[in-house]
Amino acid sequence: MTDVTSDSPSPRLAGAALIKDEVTRLPDAPGVYRMIGEGEEVLYVGKAKSLKKRVVQYAQGRFHTNRIAHMVDATRSMEFVTTRTEADALLLEINLIKQLKPRFNVLLRDDKSFPEIVIRRDHDAPQLRKHRGAHTIKGDYFGPFASAWAVNRTLNTLQKAFLLRSCSDSVYESRDRPCMLHQIKRCAAPCTGLIGKDDYQALVDQAEAFLRGKSRAVMASMAKQMEEAAEDLEFERAARLRDRIRALSAVAQETQINPETVEEADVVALHVEGGQACVQVFFFRAGQNWGNRAYFPRITGNADESEDETVTEEQRIITAFLGQFYDDKRIPRLILANVQPAESELLSEAFALKSGRKVEISVPKRGEKADLVQHALTNAKEALGRKMAEGSAQTKLLAGVAEAFKLDAPPERIEVYDNSHIQGTNAVGGMIVAGPEGFMKGQYRKFNIRSTELTPGDDYGMMKEVLRRRFARLVKEEEEGDDANRPDLVLVDGGKGQLDAALEIMADLGVDDIAVVGVAKGPDRDAGLERFFIPGQTPFMLEPKSPVLYYLQRLRDEAHRFAIGAHRTRRSMDLKKNPLDEIEGVGPGRKKALLHAFGSAKGVSRASVEDLVKVDGVSQALAERIFGFFRKG
């Protein structure tokens, strides 16, 4: 691919005039274009079979929607990249949309990685385990599973049926007798030689065959072995095989839908209502339903105006969703959908290019596959209905918060602060964020208290440090033109003292136009008796059964949970620290030698200089330094 141009040559041009000027230098070739607004904000990313023919449409001033007209007016520069084929352009467009998150594109949100099952192949006794992320381990991967629950259930079944080890290599190597998993018949104990390598490999091969969809053949083979064992009067072995067959049969019984005609496919159903969209994705692998997940792509800023006026909004949404969804996931051979994507053949070609094999996108009209799609669509409608109901309730709660605290409008961003420590040690401040869509966990922040001048347990001083660091960063961001993270309301855990500390810092930083409220716990820390402190007002309480009070309690409890979790993590890391790490000249090698010689850091602290010198790599000077370190008090 080739860059055609970077920023527009004439900063005086803008909008349609700028685009018209750019068209004069564009090739009649496939590629990707970016429309950029004030402050280098990427407004929109699009792809084209012909950059020249596609971009010229924006310069003609004939738009189907006001949103596109607004986007064109806001354009201050454009960037272009040519590609070899239109499929390459589509893949690049998908990557840039996920990376840049332009506000006029359809955006897939909550795109988290899925858990998988891996059979490791880098050990004599292959391990069966759950996996997330890149395929860096040599082995066979099976998935995706829609949730950790789904993958854990399947792992549990596979352990019962195939007796494969799940322990780490270090545990495996250290065993001299079978572990509890062998006692409860979930592991064949290859670690202690209770099963030979060839027999264990046969179990691994059976597990792989089962996960690849050959469940009937595996169960038939096991049934035959059970009959042979019974005929040979090996009743214990026959009973073990019976239990393994039952475990495999349970998979089919626990799963709601197991299709007869679909071995491997993703079923995707889109429902659009009230300006919002929900996409339900069901995963079918090895003829089994491995779970489903709902997505709610952002569509309010969509400005994807195709040359084909017959393309519907639903087709544009499903096309954008599929492209972004499979950008970093394994693509199945078959994708079943309720809406035919725009440029379906091009999308299939791009997926084939990415996966290295043919990928079919189909909209079934009858039969079992159509039933699967209809089932997914029903789930999409129900999920969107629940989300819209929750959103309506959330809107009412935020309006109630605005009324309770006399705000000009319902807050779009609420930040809640809390501290956690034990007698001043391992002190951590936590910030959680909430808004119209609930908790915004990607915006949470923790602050390790750094000041050495604070008196241990000085909650006011800790709150000042946290807020100074947080709002100094906000001031810097706003100086750079980014005001997206400015809160409308700040809640601090505490009464008048905490509130005054917060107000002092925010006044110093010039952000005293943000509403701040102190939330003090009731007597004996009783929920429902909280008092609220607002500058210039008498402290007050809300009605004990008020929904707004319950909502504010949830915010405070979430901040408390997050701060405690951050504190425990820091305390755990601190406990793992070794005093030897603080001694200059003691690296990993010398640390290991010292611990081996004296058994522990405490043993090292008791050693004399003469004993320390005897350790490999420890000179006279270093021995004296170590000796002095433990006696510096």
What confidence tens digit (pLDDT) does each residue in 186-204 have? 888 888 888 888 889 888 8
pLDDT surpassing 60 at residue 22: yes
What are the beta bridge partners of residue 48?
31
Intervals of CATH 1.10.150.20 along the chain: 579-629
Positive/negative CA dihedral, 310, 314, 317, 321? negative
Cβ atoms of residues 80 and 96 within 8 Å: no
How many other C-beta atoms lie within 10 A of the C-beta of residue 574?
Answer: 10
pLDDT (tens digit, 9 = 90+) per residue, 477-507? 877 766 678 899 999 988 888 899 899 988 8
pLDDT (0 to 100) of residue 577: 62
Residue bearing the bigger pLDDT, 390 or 446: 446
Residue bearing the bigger pLDDT, 39 or 506: 506
How many other C-beta atoms lie within 10 A of the C-beta of residue 537?
Answer: 11
CATH number for the domain formed by residue range(s) 265-382: 3.30.420
pTM of the model: 0.56
User: 308 falls in which pLDDT band (50, 70, 90)?
Assistant: low
How many other C-beta atoms lie within 10 A of the C-beta of residue 149?
Answer: 11
Residues whose CB falls within 8 Å of the CB of residue 125, separated by 6 or more in sequence, listed in order: 165, 172, 190, 191, 197, 200
Q: Check residue 275 and give left, alpha or beta (phi > 0: left; psi -120 to 50: alpha).
A: left
pLDDT (0 to 100) of residue 533: 93
Intervals of CATH 3.30.420.340 along the chain: 414-565
pLDDT (0 to 100) of residue 574: 60
DSSP summary character for residue 301: T
Which of 24, 29, 45, 43 has its CA nearest to residue 96? 45
The mean pLDDT value of the chain amounts to 81
Query: What average pLDDT does range 304-318 have in this prediction?
Result: 71
Residue bearing the bigger pLDDT, 99 or 488: 488
The CATH architecture of the domain made up of 579-629 is Orthogonal Bundle (1.10)
183-187, 226-230, 531-535, 563-567: range with highest mean pLDDT:
531-535
Range 2-100 classified under CATH 2.60.40.2250: no
CATH number for the domain formed by residue range(s) 414-565: 3.30.420.340
pLDDT surpassing 80 at residue 586: yes
pLDDT surpassing 50 at residue 566: yes
pLDDT (0 to 100) of residue 9: 46
DSSP summary character for residue 107: B
Task: Look at 6-10, 75-79, 187-191 and tell me which has the smallest mean pLDDT.
Answer: 6-10
User: 8 falls in which pLDDT band (50, 70, 90)?
Assistant: very low
pLDDT (0 to 100) of residue 4: 54
Intervals of CATH 3.40.1440.10 along the chain: 2-100
Cβ atoms of residues 420 and 447 within 8 Å: no
pLDDT (0 to 100) of residue 292: 80
